[in-house]
Amino acid sequence: MAITYESMMRYPVPEVTQTLDDRDCILYALGVGFGTEPEHPGHLRYVYEDGLEVLPMMANVVAYPGFWLKDPATGVDWQRVLHGEQVFTVHRPIPSGVKLRGRTRIVGIDDKGPTFGAFMFARRDVAVDTTGEAVCTLEQTTLLRGDGGCGGSDARPTPVHRTPRREHDLHRDLAVAPEAALVYRLSGDRNPLHVDPAVAKSAGFDRPILHGMCTMGYAGHAVMAAICDYDGGRIRSMQVRFTAPAYPGETLRTEMWIDDDVVSFRTRALERDVLVLGNGRIELQ
């Protein structure tokens, strides 16, 4: 069943409620590289339940509807789906022990034709379920490589951030654990592309790739370590474009440019010298 602009725009993405507990928050932090320095106070504040804080990058997985594009009712060729861009804005510290509700809707499609595919734009609003108080807002761009020709010419909700032309101001290297994708998927994204070698090969990769939002979490980790003294409360928003897949076991170098309260960044897989994240922007507060 081929998708159409109209069928995708009216697809009812499931609403999700979630009450985070300390296990959820610690598991996410471990999935994006915290805990590799188990006695470092900057790590412990996110992986130890005594005084536990929630990482701002966890906005990406809170009340997340999962890999709903695998539902046959969408008609999407799910094995050829790639995450293109991600933006989140945190309106207040992400709370644990409180029921949150995530509402996701498709807000646009930009069809690039049968050869290239189509970009799908979705927005998720997460709020406290009982009061409606906004917690975070997310925008996701997904490349549907097998579904071009569906129609639509909508603009992306947030323009692409341009990286400064000057030499970067500093960088931070983080090693990705070989089991990182296996850990990160337990925070909600069960796409088999990240765990099943057969699925990865059918999608054109020689082995399972790291989740794009896991790579994004590592970049946020690098900025927190290099600039924020591990204070996640300083990050108000984060925007990134996924330029190439990263793989578990690689070393990720995040290069940063600091302009007042805006940090521009990009991330490179050192062993392959491949840019995996580009056009990154973090707004500090």
Look up residue 7 and give its two tokens: 């069928």
CA–CA dist 118, 111 (Å, integer)? 4
Quick check: helix, strand or coil at residue 204?
Answer: coil
- Three-state DSSP class for 188? coil
Q: Which of 250, 207, 256 shows the shortest CA–CA distance to 235?
A: 256
- C-alpha–C-alpha distance, residues 195 and 137, integer Å: 28
Q: From the candidates 43, 83, 194, 221, which is the catalytic residue?
A: 194
Identity at 136, one-letter amino acid code: C
Spatial strand order of the sheet with 170-175 comes to 16-19, 99-111, 118-128, 134-144, 81-90, 235-242, 274-284, 262-269, 251-259, 170-175
Separation CA 224–CA 154 (nearest Å):
34
Catalytic site residue from 147, 161, 189, 221: 189
Cα→Cα distances 54→31, 217, 229, Å: 13, 13, 15
Say whether 189 is catalytic: yes
Residue 152's CB is within 10 A of a number of other CB atoms, namely: 18
Alpha-carbon distance of 103 to 63, in angstroms, equals 8
In 157-272, alpha helices (H): 180-184, 197-202, 212-226
Determine whether 194 is an active site residue. yes
267: β partners: 254, 277
Counting Cα atoms < 13 Å in the Cβ hemisphere of 31 gives 28
Catalytic residue positions? 189, 194
